Chain A
Amino acid sequence: MSKGRFGTHGGQYIPELLMNAVIELEEAYDRYKNDPQFCAELAELFKNYAGRPSLLYFARKMTDDLGGAKVYLKREDLNHTGAHKINNVLGQTLLAKKMGKTRVIAETGAGQHGVATATAAALMGLDCEIFMGEEDMRRQALNVYKMRLLGAAVHPVTSGTATLKDAVSETMREWTRRIEDTHYVLGSVMGPHPFPTIVRDFQAVISKEIRAQILEREGRLPDAVLACVGGGSNAIGAFYHFLGDESVGLIGCEAAGRGVDTFETAATVTTGRLGIFHGMKSYFCQDEFGQIAPVYSISAGLDYPGVGPEHAHLHDIGRVQYVAVTDDEAVDAFEYLSRTEGIIPAIESAHAVAHAMKLAPGMGKDKLIVVNLSGRGDKDCAAIARYRGEELSE
């Protein structure tokens, strides 16, 4: 079995053209991940640029209203650029810089990863090019503007369904065109080894902080940690330091779209099957001949037909439970959290909030739930208004 496996999942299913690039990346990562200088620089960026540690907020009104478990929100939405994406991007761009790369490329779905990459590239003085589905550019025009404002070039991707999966394919193609000076800042715990491990390690700061914060506040570990799962980077970040604690239930919330019994869904673990795509073996939404299925979710960030290989493995061994949350439930949660706590969550994160709303009332008042609020929802306001039949001009 090749490197980078999580059970049967993972691996390096990529063109030979890219093999030396991922080997070089793995070697660089192994060299720097425990290098005191590198770790100090990254810690400094996390603290004084991204604004870490992010708060662990006790949602008192939500807790009272739901009438069960105490609900805490891990406020990744308060990070610079408004989502967890910055953790991974700062780590990878710093690594790219150490490797002597002068240019970074990245895919983006909702635009959050693109904005984060453009931000870090501006900070570190790297050229930056972002690949984004044409359909997503239309849905997230403000983020396109932000990326350009930050000095990045944004290339529309028109192939396939013109969404996140096609943006990943096109960024991979671009990497084969120009490797020498270019690092591909992959945005989630997916793709070929070593990306799933690198991205997880940079996102693991989330669970490291949650653990320390909840121990300080409550003197014990939580009973459940919830996070939304597209590729799965915020989820793996929120779960990682609890994987060894059997008492902590870990729940990944996938996008069911219009429902897992319809074709308009992006719930990969629930509806997909084992396959090989985008460099990894994992679960994918696909037809009987292995053609990757067009997926759908109201959330551009969860609109991906696969899931990271470590999640596939955590599902196989039963350590993480994966549930599907519909558009309707996520939109309700988006509005509920705004109204109840004065916090507008990203529609992606609202999927996890929605499941917490189902879970908390059935749990005792002495139980603790942590919801990873992976991003803020400003970017989604126009789309949610439209979903409710109201036209906004941004």
Chain B
Amino acid sequence: MSNIQKAFDRGKALIAFLTCGDPDLETTERLIAAMAAAGADLIELGIPFSDPTAEGPVIQAANLRALSGGTTTDAVFDMVRRVRQTVAVPLVFMTYANVVFSYGTERFIRTAAEVGMDGLILPDVPFEEKGEFAPACRAYGLDFVPLVAPTSKGRVPMIAKEAEGFVYCVSSLGVTGMRDSITSEIGAMVGRVRAATDLPAAVGFGISTPEQAAEMAREADGVIVGSAIVDLIGQYGREAEPAVSACVSAMKKAITSGP
């Protein structure tokens, strides 16, 4: 069992996301430790990209802040190396294909494994293109985590059967970002995933309140919170630790015992 799967061992998992280097990597380092302490079972680290086509305005702005601050892929690797000395929770990179490809796909994946990462999520790499990334991940012991969406329908079994780590279920149409309501039939999607794999299914995109998190956790094995955390980092910048910790711990409480 991979480290990522172990994150789902203690009941419903809370997966927290932030963009590395927003507003700087020292802050990111402190926030990772704070989120782990506040109950995040797995942390997704976004490596900023200039043109994040799957993101809504909140995470787009975070990418921009991180890049304007001079964040580079190498600096992100160095930060992870430091953070790994104190933080044990599984860590997964979430970034775009070009960040990995331009670094040299194998070199990127080898370095990621070396600094202590556990997995990789590329929202612009669907099942059809994963052959370019997944074998190198396997060779270096990273899980290549796939996404399924409300539009995936008949594609779910094919994707889930070859999944590693967990299956990222996109809650609804559109890009990342906070929504008032999540209307897709999460239960049905999770059911299709479970019919094809024993791996955990986590739901993300648009989960911004403890109520929504609790509702999603009733259906899935884990809940991914991104824009809500990134929004707090956007508001509080270098002083975001208390707000982010409070958010993570409220979400964790909500998915464990209801809001």
A interface list, Cβ under 8 A from B: 1-3, 11-21, 159-160, 165-166, 169, 172-173, 176-179, 273-279, 281, 284, 286, 288-292
Contact = CB atoms under 8 A, between A and B. Distances in A.
B152 interface: yes
Given A16-B147, A173-B175, A289 B102 contact: yes
Contacts of A1: 131
B51 A160 contact: yes
A357 to B, nearest CB: 35
B49, B96, B102, B159: most-surrounded residue (chain A CB, <10 A): B102
Interface stretch (B120-128, B196-204, B235-243): B120-128
A12 B127 CA distance: 10
Instruction: Place the interface of chain B in its size category.
Output: 35 or more
Nearest to A291: B50
B135 interface: no
Contact of B170 (A16, A278, A286): A16
Contacts of A172: 53
B111 interface: no
11 contacts: A11-B128, A14-B124, A16-B147, A17-B149, A18-B151, A19-B155, A176-B173, A275-B98, A275-B102, A291-B67, A292-B98
A306 to B, nearest CB: 11
Contact of B99 (A3, A15, A278, A290): A290
A165 B51 CA distance: 9
B209 interface: no
Contacts of B101: 274-276, 281, 290
B97 interface: yes
B72 interface: yes
Contacts of B124: 13-15, 276, 279
B60 interface: yes
B30 interface: no
A20 B158 CA distance: 13
Given A15-B126, A16-B170, A290-B73, 8 more contacts: A15-B54, A16-B159, A169-B53, A173-B174, A176-B175, A179-B151, A276-B97, A276-B101
